[in-house]
Structure formats: C-alpha cells, structure tokens
Structure 1
Amino acid sequence: MTTRRRLLLALGSWVAGFAAQAQTTPKPIDLPEFTRQRMQHQRIIGLTLGGYALANIAASGIAASRTTGETRYFHRMGVYWNLVNLGIAGFGLLGARKQAGQESLAEAVKEHENMKQVLLLNAGLDVAYLMGGTYLIERANRPTEISRRDQLRGFGKAVIVQGGFLLAFDVVNYLIFKNRDKQQQQLIQATEHGVGVVLPIR
C-alpha cells in the first residue's frame, strides 16, 4: 500500500468517525457546558488543521527536494498551501482562547451561528478550489502551455487534493455544529425571553 493510499484511508476513517459523532443525539446541557463544547470543538479544529498542515509541510518539503517535473510542483504547492493553513489554524486557536470566560445566552447563540456560517462559507470556497484545480489541469493540455505543462498539472492536482481534504473537513465540522442546534433550542426555550429576543439569525 502506497503512502498516498494510507493517507486517504486514514482520512476516510477520520471523516467516518466525525460523521458518526455528528449523528449522535445530544443530551440536554446547561449554558456553560454548551459554551465549553463549542470552544473545545474550535480548539480541536485548530489543532487538527495545524497538525495536518505541519505534516504536509514536512512531507512535501522533503519530497519537493527529491523529485522533478510534475511531482515536484505538486509538493511545492502542498508546502505553499499548508503554510496558509497553518496561519489559519493559529489564528483560530488564538480566537478560541480570547473567548474564554462567561457568555450570555445571546452571545453563545451568536457564536454558534457564526461558526456554522463560517464553515458553510469555507465549504463553498473548497468547491471553488476543486474547480480551480480542475481548470489548471485542463489548461495544461493546451498546446500554448507546453512549457508550463508540468507546473500546471502539479499545481492543479495539489489544489484538488488539498481542496478535497478541506471540503470534507469543513462539511463534517458543520454537521457537528448543526447537530448542536437541538441543545441550543433547549437552552432558548428554558429562558423567559424565547427565540424572538435572543436568536440572532441573519
């Protein structure tokens, strides 16, 4: 089994595990626990993305120096892409730390809804990445791009691989947040104000 197949198998197992978690019926919780779960999940997102980025930077950095042609460009893009991922992961972890402390119900609901919107937006961008990678590969087949064929194909394939991972990552995490909507409704219904006052749907 090749390294790439092992990576895809591990990714598939990871996605399946998170998908199963997303389908689990949540138990009733109080507001502090609802906030704690969101913050913990945000930290897990940051740590997972950061770990993935570091592993890719290390592996692709070594591979890029030992390969040529299309494969070399594939790994170069892997390094560039995951340097950005690493920065995003670090920013997310800092944001999770800043949110520590007491939250009102309105603030907790707002943060929960914001995370769902961000993950949906990211998923849309991921689809655009897949389309962009496909375009680069198609462009490499044009007679006018013979001199850049290896670069376009390598970059295109890398963008598809990285975009595919991010799409699975964002969709699974969105489903986990979406599964907490029932808990959120329970918390809202337990207040005297109700949905009309505290639920900041935009």
Structure 2
Amino acid sequence: MTPFRRFLLAAGSVLLGTSTQAQPTNPTLRDFTEQRMQHQKVIGYTLGGYALANIAVGAVGASQTTGETRYFHRMNVYWNLVNLGIAGAGLLGARRKAGSETLGQAIRQHENMKQILLLNSGLDVAYIVGGAYLLERAKNRPENRDQLRGFGKSVIAQGSFLLAFDLVNYFIFKKRGDRQQMQLVGAAPLGVGVVMPIR
C-alpha cells in the first residue's frame, strides 16, 4: 500500500469516526416512555417472581416445620401474597402504549415512579423496625414467643429485601430517566419561562 493510500485510509477513518461520534444521542419522547414502561415491567416481573418463589418455599416450609420456623414461613406466604398483588397491579399499569403520552405526562409519570419508590423505601424501613419490635416483644411473651419471633424475623427479612429492591430501582430511574428528561426538555420546541407581572 502506498503512503498516499494509507493517508486516505487514515483520513477517511478519522472523518467517519468523528462524524459517528458527533451525532447527538437525544432520546425521543417515545424512547423515554418505553424505557420507563419497560423498567416498570421488569420491576413487576421481578417482584412477582420473588413473591411466587417465597409463597412456594413458605408453603412447603410451613407444612414441614414447627415452632418459630413454621411462623417464619407462614408470614413469608402472607407477605408475598400482597407482593404478588402489587406486582400484578404494576404490570397492568405498564400496559399503556408508549406513544400516547405528552411530554408533560411522561415527565409526571417518571417523577411519580421515583416518588413511589422513595415512599416505599420509607415504608420498608418501618417494616424492619416493626419486625424488630416483634422480636423485642417476644422476650416478654413466652406464650407467643415462637409466633412473635417467627413473624418478626420474616418481616425484617422481607422489609430488607424490599428496601434494597426499591432503592436500587429508584437510583436506576434517577440515573437514566433524569438525564433523558433533561435532554427532552432541552430539545422541546417551546422553552420554559417565568411570567412576572409588572404593575
């Protein structure tokens, strides 16, 4: 290969590489909405799968154990019946079409999801504290000790999982969605302004 051909090949590579990198990667409103809905589906399927696994293990465990362990498995079943209902409701809510939202609606839905996840995280902390309270109460209630300890340990375990689950999903929503939201607002045909009446 001659030096001139090498120069042309190198120059062409640089130009093509630069033009590829220079293209903006602005998300569209449809992409923004689809990613949120897809994430909601992942949350629903993950929580639903976790709930089904806990219900199955808890049902078997409750039928084959006694004492504190039996109550632990029972509470896992009760708790995850609720989780299964929440997962199902979340999946039903994520069935809308991605092209049916305006920019304002999409941003509101994104912010609502973040607020729901933060609120759930606060509730999860309350569950953990409630489970610790049951463990403490078991010390003074010998007639219900096994039940209180089993239920308390289950509530702490379930609350801890949900706390981690909600916080991870909040940060995923925040990192990906907030960046896309700012790009969409910046790319919107109409700007954002403040009206100040002068008297």
CA distance in 2, matches of 1:159, 1:171: 18
Measured after TM superposition, the shift of residue 103 of structure 1 is 1.2
Counterpart position of 1:42: 40
Superposed CA deviations along residues 84-124 of structure 1, whole A, max 9, x for unmatched, are 00000000000111355421110110000000000000000
Which letter does structure 1 place at the counterpart of 2:53? Answer: A
CA distance in 2, matches of 1:99, 1:125: 31
Counterpart position of 1:130: 128
CA distance in 2, matches of 1:87, 1:39: 18
Unaligned runs of 5+ in 1: 1-26, 198-202
Counterpart position of 2:94: 96
CA RMSD of aligned residues (A): 1.3
Counterpart position of 1:172: 168
Matched, 1:156 2:134: no
What TM-score does the superposition give when structure 1 sets the normalisation length?
Answer: 0.81
Contact 1:189/1:195 (8 A) holds in 2:
no
Counterpart position of 1:190: 187
CA distance in 2, matches of 1:54, 1:107: 33
**Percent identity (aligned):** 69
- Structure 1 pair 134–182 and aligned structure 2 pair: CA distance change class (3 A): same
- Structure 1 pair 46–73 and aligned structure 2 pair: CA distance change class (3 A): same
Structure of higher RCO (CA pairs closer than 8 Å, 6+ residues apart): 1
Counterpart position of 1:22: none
- Residues matched between the structures, number: 169
CA distance in 1, matches of 2:193, 2:147: 54
Unaligned runs of 5+ in 2: 1-24, 195-199
What TM-score does the superposition give when structure 2 sets the normalisation length?
Answer: 0.82
SS in 1 for 2:94: helix
